[in-house]
Amino acid sequence: MIGDDRTRELADRYDRDASAYRDHWAPVLRKAGMVLVRELADAPVERVLDIGTGVGTLMPDLWREFHGASVVGVDRSHGMLALAPDMTRPAVMDARQLAFRTASIDRVVMAFMLFHLDDPMTGLREARRILRDRGRLGVLTWGGELNSKANDVWLAHLDSHGAVPPDPAAETRHERVDTPEKNGGAAARRRLRLGALLGGGTDLGLRRG
């Protein structure tokens, strides 16, 4: 498995924070993920893969929307997978090197994980490799950075309480998953805020959600 230091440190961090993630953050992200899952469930399929599934946030929604299909979740963090629901059939795997056959999966989900990769294109190419003809990949990521007074106040408050600086391993590189549409002004951002759907097949074209 690909095991550069930064990826290992990130996995360690997710291992450590897994239960807080499950209790406090997963329910927040799930709301956006449910929209993506419904968008992808446009036809009966056999095999669905959730890459970077974490604590299996979207598993209940994937089981419901893809009833009867084989749904598998993979992630780099053992600790996160250990908290995923039993039926997740979890496997420790790196998004950049998936242990799945070429053209074997009908739907791939990458929810809030692509920005963790140094080179997101590697992850996208790997997802495309395993997709069958007419397969579809759904990617969910954050909109542009929101500069707000509230955020400034919050950061100043944290500093005044001696908060430690952010862990470099947890640094996210949102600019690497930016698209012209995402940066194209408020209207485009609104349309894209719940996710961008990338069609499978030969072109990785962006379809607005």
Distance of alpha carbon 86 from alpha carbon 83, whole angstroms:
8
Query: Any idea which residue has 């698209």 for tokens?
Result: 179
State yes or no: residue 72 binds ligand SAM (CB under 6 A): no
Q: Which of residues 114-153 bind ligand SAM (CB under 6 A)?
A: 116-117
Query: What is the H or E stretch that residue 60 is in?
Result: helix 59-65
Cβ-proximal residue to ligand SAM, closest one: 54
The Cα 71–Cα 51 span in angstroms is: 11
Q: Residue 52 interacts with ligand SAM (CB under 6 A)?
A: yes
Determine if 7 is a binding residue for ligand SAM (CB under 6 A): yes
CB 102, min distance to ligand SAM, A: 19
Candidates 75-83, 127-135, 177-185, 200-208: pick the segment binding ligand SAM (CB under 6 A). 75-83
Q: Which is nearer to ligand SAM, 111 or 124 (CB)?
A: 111
Q: Residue 208: which residues within 8 A CB-CB, separation 6 or more?
A: 181, 188, 191, 192, 196, 197
From CA 192, how far away is CA 141, in angstroms rounded? 9
Residue 198 CB, nearest approach to ligand SAM (Å): 16
Q: Identify which range of 4-12, 149-157, 163-171, 191-199 contacts ligand SAM by CB under 6 A.
A: 4-12
Q: What is the 8-class DSSP label of residue 167?
A: P
H or E stretch covering 198: strand 196-199
User: Which residues sit opposite 185 in a β-bridge?
Assistant: none
Closer Cβ to ligand SAM, 100 or 112, answer by number: 112
Tell me which residues touch ligand SAM (CB under 6 A): 7, 10-11, 14, 26, 29, 33, 52-54, 57, 75-77, 80, 94-96, 111-113, 116-117
